[in-house]
Amino acid sequence: MHPAHVTVIFVLGGPGAGKGTQCARLVAEFDFCHLSAGDLLRAEQTREGSADGELIRTCIREGTIVPMEVTIKLLDTAMRAAIAARDAASAPGWGAGRGRFLIDGFPRKMDQALKFDETVCTSALVLYFATTEEVLLARLLERGKTSGREDDNAASITKRFRTYKVNTMPVIAHYAALGKVAEVDSTDSIEAVYGRARAVVEDVFAGKYNKI
């Protein structure tokens, strides 16, 4: 997929930073297709006949990263399906092989970043939601009361924080060095954070990051 036709914004931030919440709002306003790597992995884990179900289950419970081939294949397939499904759409950014994507919770590790850029599509920007570990922990424990997620418990959360620091912070540093990171403080209310996130997206469509 060519970045001239397909706009990809990676959405990163620690677990509980508000990636999913903010992506839902951006979809409603800008006609993105929102792909959450974690959601795609959870769906694949329970898909009948999946060869990777057990592997994914173990990684999610342990808070470790699923081997990149699995996740990149799921994303590539979902992107192609969205572009094909909306081929005749008149929505801005879609039709004639074009598309715009928010890829949430990806890339979580350098190997995923390099491989995706090389084999799927170069991303326009990383939208990075930043807040403190105290805020993340409080949100995840609150979410855990109703999310039904196997990894929203104190033991898994500790492991996810560690994986995030060791594997994902270097990804953010890599794209920051290329001038491709917009950091948004996500400590505030959903509404306040959204105001900042939507301004970043408007900058992307205005071409602010194209020259980098």
> And the tokens for 9?
């914004």
Residue 143 annotated as binding? yes
Sequence length of the chain is 212
> Exposed, middle or buried by CB within 10 Å (0-12, 13-18, 19+), for 28?
exposed
# residues near ligand C5P by CB under 6 A = 17
Pick the binder of Mg ion from 2, 13, 20, 32 (CB under 5 A): 20
Yes or no: say if 136 and 187 are a contact pair by the CB < 8 Å rule.
Answer: no
Does 103 participate in binding ligand C5P (rule CB under 6 A)?
Answer: no
- State which residue, 60 or 201, has the beta carbon closest to ligand C5P: 60
- Strand 6-12 versus strand 181-185 pairing type: unpaired
| Residue 172 touches which member of Mg ion, ligand C5P, none, C-beta under 5-8 Å by kind | none
Cα 84 to Cα 58, 99, 119, distances in angstroms = 33, 10, 19
C-beta of 119 vs 210, nearer to ligand C5P = 119
**The one segment of 17-25, 51-59, 112-120, 124-132 that binds Mg ion by CB under 5 A:** 17-25
What is the C-alpha separation between 116 and 174, in angstroms, rounded? 14
6's tokens: 């397909």
Q: Is 117 annotated as a binding residue?
A: no
Task: Indicate the annotated binding residues for a ribonucleoside 5'-phosphate.
Answer: 42, 64-66, 105-108, 112, 149, 160
Task: Indicate the annotated binding residues for ATP.
Answer: 16-21, 143, 188
Task: Please give the residue ranges that form the binding site for ligand C5P (CB under 6 A).
Answer: 15, 37-38, 41, 59-60, 63-66, 71, 105-106, 108, 112, 151, 160
